[in-house]
């Protein structure tokens, strides 16, 4: 009888609430923000499988992610939705499994490996990007800049992780608009997982329907086969006593714990896929939103270019691990883009035991506490009355130094024990790409693009934000390609010498 009642309850909620979810599926961030403006922070919604509490407030997030960290977990919903793609990787797991995976990754992401593995990979990929942009400028062809950034970050991550190149930035590629099967599969499963989170919250069988679609199964198979092939090839070369590769996969394969146990084939695959989701989409999308605002406000380029010329005194110079923090105006623009368009725009944790948020709601076991960094960026109580405006100067103090906002206010890199391990890698890569493009090119939107591209939904009646609509994903892509025209800067530094002499 109890099971019968449970299914009736789920069916009732599906009939009552799911139509509204489906109607708003292209605007889930805005829809949630509108609900918060109506009902206030701390409001809750009871779903068939859980109660969802909205906690988009810095001190409440700090309580969940730091103060009472042990009481809040990713839980069964994350496992249900993400484990068939990301396995038991760092973004899915809790407890001892997460701690062990985190320790492995922490040991690998050190300053020495940044200098010897990460920076050379980024530099090599920047040169390929420069070659391609020079070709596009000469041809006066339209550049789908957001797609190009995804190719750039995937290429650099393949290089630093596997010592491989897909050739997606190569001038010899006949169609630069085609994407590699791995990238296509990756984009598809991310979109599916975003939808599965919503539907699984209402009904596990409904969420599983998405996971069993032939295209979903095929995409997962593509991802697994791609990474396993690289791992097996590397293991074979190790068995043949060839020299070990100096890349992130090599570091993972050479790792062993205090008992001398190495990572299994499956653990290596999970680690690689979890690194790629952190290294490809998040940085590419942050770069896309950065250049969207730079094209909108070209006056921001003046102090950036002055700064670049002062730090990089010759064409041969590139951004590296030693100097990337010196680019204050570039960092201010990048951080402001991340503030307004956080690469992971929303997240959630599940409560294990009873709790109470500071001056907030009571939390029961299995409650889902959901927050949105995107929503907080548009909260005047957090960022002031100009919160929806793109103002990089909010990041620069009166002495011309970069302001350091607390991790619970500027939460784009997460916080507490689960703070993003790759934030320095992402920042280094982003600053490198921004500098190379800004110093050499002027950019503008394709005529009519901005007027015609679908926009996000206004979250208040007096909102003036004209942001292009976001795509469905765990991260924050543009729903439609950002089409731009780039031209060589008049009097800009010569590209040929920078590329050819490296």
User: Where is the binding site for heme, in residues?
Assistant: 420
Number of CB atoms found within 10 A of residue 375's CB: 26
Facing residues of 441 across strands?
488
d(CA 155, CA 284): 11
Point out the annotated binding site.
420
d(CA 280, CA 154): 5
d(CA 175, CA 335): 33
- The two beta strands, 72-73 and 355-356, are unpaired
d(CA 301, CA 285): 20
**At how many degrees (to 10) do helices 181-202 and 145-162 cross?**
100
Task: Name every residue whose Cβ is closer than 8 Å to that of residue 366 and which is 6 or more positions away in sequence.
Answer: 50, 51, 350, 351
Q: Determine contact, residues 321/327, Cβ cutoff 8 Å.
A: no
Q: Residue 195 is encoded by which pair of tokens?
A: 């939808």
Q: Determine contact, residues 53/365, Cβ cutoff 8 Å.
A: no
45 three-state secondary structure: strand
Facing residues of 408 across strands?
none
DSSP structural state of residue 407: T
Buried b (16+ CB within 10 A) or exposed e, 296-314: eeeebbebbbebbeebbee
């Amino acid at each position: 009888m109890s099971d019968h009642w449970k299914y009736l309850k789920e069916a009732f909620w599906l009939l009552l609430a799911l139509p509204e979810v489906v109607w708003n599926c292209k605007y889930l961030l805005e829809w949630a923000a509108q609900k918060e403006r109506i009902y206030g922070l701390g409001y809750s919604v009871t779903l068939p499988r859980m109660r969802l509490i909205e906690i988009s407030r810095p001190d409440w997030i700090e309580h969940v992610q730091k103060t009472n960290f042990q009481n809040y977990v990713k839980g069964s919903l994350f496992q249900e939705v993400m484990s068939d793609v990301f396995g038991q990787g760092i973004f899915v797991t809790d407890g001892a499994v997460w701690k062990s995976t985190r320790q492995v990754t922490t040991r690998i992401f050190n300053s020495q490996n940044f200098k010897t593995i990460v920076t050379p990979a980024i530099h090599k990929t920047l040169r390929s990007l420069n070659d391609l942009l020079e070709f596009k400028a000469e041809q006066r062809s339209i550049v789908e800049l957001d797609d190009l950034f995804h190719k750039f970050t995937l290429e650099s991550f393949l290089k630093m992780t596997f010592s491989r190149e897909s050739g997606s930035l190569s001038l010899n590629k006949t169609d630069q608009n085609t994407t590699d099967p791995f990238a296509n599969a990756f984009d598809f499963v991310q979109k599916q997982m975003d939808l599965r989170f919503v539907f699984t919250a209402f009904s596990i069988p409904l969420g599983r329907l998405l996971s069993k679609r032939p295209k979903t199964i095929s995409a997962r198979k593509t991802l697994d086969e791609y990474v396993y092939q690289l791992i097996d090839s590397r293991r074979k070369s190790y068995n043949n006593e060839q020299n070990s590769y100096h890349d992130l996969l090599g570091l993972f394969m050479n790792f062993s714990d205090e008992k001398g146990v190495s990572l299994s084939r499956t653990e290596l695959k999970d680690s690689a896929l979890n690194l790629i989701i952190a290294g490809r989409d998040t940085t590419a999308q942050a770069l896309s939103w950065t250049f969207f605002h730079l094209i909108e406000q070209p006056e921001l380029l003046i102090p950036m270019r002055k700064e670049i010329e002062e730090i990089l005194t010759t064409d041969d110079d590139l951004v590296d691990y030693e100097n990337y923090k010196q680019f204050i105006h570039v960092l201010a623009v990048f951080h402001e883009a991340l503030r307004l368009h956080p690469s992971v725009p929303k997240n959630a944790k599940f409560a294990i035991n009873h709790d109470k948020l500071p001056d907030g709601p009571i939390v029961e076991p299995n409650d889902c506490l959901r927050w949105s960094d995107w929503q907080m960026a548009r909260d005047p109580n957090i960022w002031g009355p100009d919160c929806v405006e793109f103002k990089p100067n909010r990041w620069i103090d009166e002495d011309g130094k970069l302001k350091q906002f607390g991790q619970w206010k500027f939460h784009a890199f997460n916080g507490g024990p689960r703070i993003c391990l790759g934030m320095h890698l992402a920042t280094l890569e982003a600053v490198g790409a921004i500098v190379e493009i800004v110093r050499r090119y002027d950019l503008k939107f394709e005529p009519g693009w901005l007027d015609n591209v679908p926009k996000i939904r206004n979250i208040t009646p007096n909102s003036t934000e004209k942001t292009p609509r976001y795509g469905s994903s765990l991260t924050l892509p543009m729903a439609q390609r950002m089409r731009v025209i780039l031209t060589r800067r008049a009097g800009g530094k010569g590209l040929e010498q920078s590329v050819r002499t490296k």
